């Protein structure tokens, strides 16, 4: 064996170490050009919790097509918690064989065959919130598995994360997804505890801003160690966050409860305010058994256009008087959406003098000045034109309901 001079040997090892170091540099930036408008789809949790199987998911995908939701823009069929089985001998996660006997790749192929996309769920901790295997320590294997299955969207939760820092944990799963190579929307679900709106825009495509939503218009439910919130409480928590939202990076006030038991007027108000906030529209009802009112709410194209407006501006609360709130949202081409939200249990009159109320949105750098420009008024719920801004708008807003207008010039 020939002797290698120590200096040369040192240079060889230094070169190897340097090369290896370069090989292991991670890409902590999300996939670009995804979720340029707020994601729209369906998620299993709000209605079915852990009671999920491939038969249900296939039927929901069928219903998304047959009810017209797909054609209205709903894209994702997302499995939430409890799809998991065990890990195999190499550590790769497998679906529950009894609930998903055909396997996840076959389910993804079925959903893709419907012109839809499939989402899946995991957790940054050792276990999911439902006690299934989490991704901690298996992030790169899980990302490889999801890519092999053909997954398009990952909701990544925050249970059982002892000692982890959120930003670092979510950067790890982002790096894993990038390494796996299949573009996926990443939904950061750490409940807003670590201010994900400050670091999330480069890491994920949307981030939860609050704890879980609850199927009520105005309430807080105390579960002891945690709380869930009604639609109005969730909405109130968005006020200071609008500057962080935009194309490809959205504040997520949690999934929709439309069709899960609230009154039709409350569903309408809930849906409207999510649209005004440019929120992701991930419905959570049983699409196979929708009432006509639920279907009408979820497929209202004019309301969906407010949510999906390409400017991607989150609306804001402009004024409050006697439980009646006025919200505004700048839209593309100089248009505006205006919502009068009645949070009280009795009807409330509204009168808005457009010409006497110039409005400037400093976040969007947009101005609504009816004294200078006359706007046409369109009611997207009534689906009719209702005059112009030449005279004040007057109406009565029913209890727990909204009146919405789109202004265009």
What pLDDT digit, counting tens, does each position of 261-284 carry?
Answer: 999 999 999 999 999 999 999 999
Query: What 3-state class would DSSP assign to 135?
Result: coil
The β-bridge partners of 405 are 338
Catalytic amino acids? 157, 212
Residue 25: which pLDDT band, with cuts at 50, 70 and 90?
confident
Q: What is the mean pLDDT of the chain?
A: 95
Query: CB-side exposure of 137: number of CA atoms within 13 Å?
Result: 11
Query: For the whole model, what pTM was predicted?
Result: 0.94
CA separation for the pair 407, 334 (Å, rounded): 9
CA separation for the pair 137, 382 (Å, rounded): 53
Residue 370: which pLDDT band, with cuts at 50, 70 and 90?
very high
Looking up tokens 């999906």 gives 308
What pLDDT score was predicted for residue 402?
Answer: 98
Contact criterion met (CB below 8 Å) for 244 and 201: yes
Tell me which H or E stretch contains 40: strand 40-43
Mean pLDDT of 203-225: 96
Residue 13: which pLDDT band, with cuts at 50, 70 and 90?
very low
Tell me how far CA of residue 17 lies from CA of 3, 14, 25, 27, in angstroms: 21, 5, 13, 19
Domains of the chain: 40-307 (3.20.20.70), 316-408 (2.60.40.1180)
Cα torsion through 34, 28, 274, 118, rounded to 10: 50
Contact criterion met (CB below 8 Å) for 297 and 258: yes
CA separation for the pair 40, 282 (Å, rounded): 5
């Amino acid at each position: 064996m020939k002797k290698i001079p120590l200096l040369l040997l040192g240079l060889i090892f230094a070169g190897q170490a340097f090369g290896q170091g370069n090989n292991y540099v991670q890409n902590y930036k999300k996939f670009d050009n995804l979720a340029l408008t707020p994601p729209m789809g369906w998620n299993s949790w709000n209605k079915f919790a852990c009671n999920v199987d491939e038969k249900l998911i296939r039927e929901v995908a069928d219903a998304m097509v047959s009810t017209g939701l797909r054609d209205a823009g709903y894209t994702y069929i997302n499995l939430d918690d409890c799809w998991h089985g065990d890990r195999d001998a190499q550590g790769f996660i497998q679906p529950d064989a009894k609930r998903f006997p055909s396997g996840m790749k076959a389910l993804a192929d079925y959903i893709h065959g419907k012109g839809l996309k499939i989402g899946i769920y995991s957790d940054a901790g050792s276990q999911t919130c439902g006690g299934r295997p989490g991704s901690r320590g298996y992030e790169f294997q899980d990302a490889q598995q999801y890519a092999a299955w053909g997954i398009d969207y990952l909701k990544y939760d925050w249970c059982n994360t002892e000692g982890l820092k959120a930003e670092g944990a979510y950067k790890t799963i982002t790096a894993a997804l990038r390494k796996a190579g299949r573009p996926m929307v990443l939904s950061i679900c750490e409940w807003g505890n670590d201010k994900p709106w400050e670091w999330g825009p480069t890491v994920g495509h949307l981030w939860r801003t609050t704890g879980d939503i609850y199927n009520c218009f105005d309430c807080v439910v105390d579960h002891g160690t945690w709380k869930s919130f009604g639609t109005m409480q969730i909405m109130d928590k968005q006020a200071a966050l609008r500057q962080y939202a935009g194309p490809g990076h959205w504040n997520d006030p949690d999934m929709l409860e439309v069709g899960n038991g609230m009154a039709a007027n409350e569903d309408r108000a809930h849906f409207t305010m999510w649209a005004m906030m440019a929120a992701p529209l991930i419905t959570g009802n049983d699409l196979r058994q929708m009432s006509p009112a639920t279907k009408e709410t979820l497929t209202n194209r004019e309301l969906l256009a407010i949510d999906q407006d390409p400017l991607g501006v989150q609306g804001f609360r402009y004024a409050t008087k006697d439980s009646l709130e006025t919200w505004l949202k700048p839209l593309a081409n100089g248009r505006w959406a205006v919502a009068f939200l009645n949070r009280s249990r009795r009807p409330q009159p509204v009168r808005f003098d457009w010409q006497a109320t110039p409005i400037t949105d400093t976040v969007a750098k947009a101005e609504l000045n009816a004294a200078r420009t006359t706007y046409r008024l369109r009611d997207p719920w009534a689906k009719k034109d209702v005059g112009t801004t030449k005279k004040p708008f007057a109406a009565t807003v029913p209890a727990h309901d909204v009146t919405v207008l789109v202004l265009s010039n």
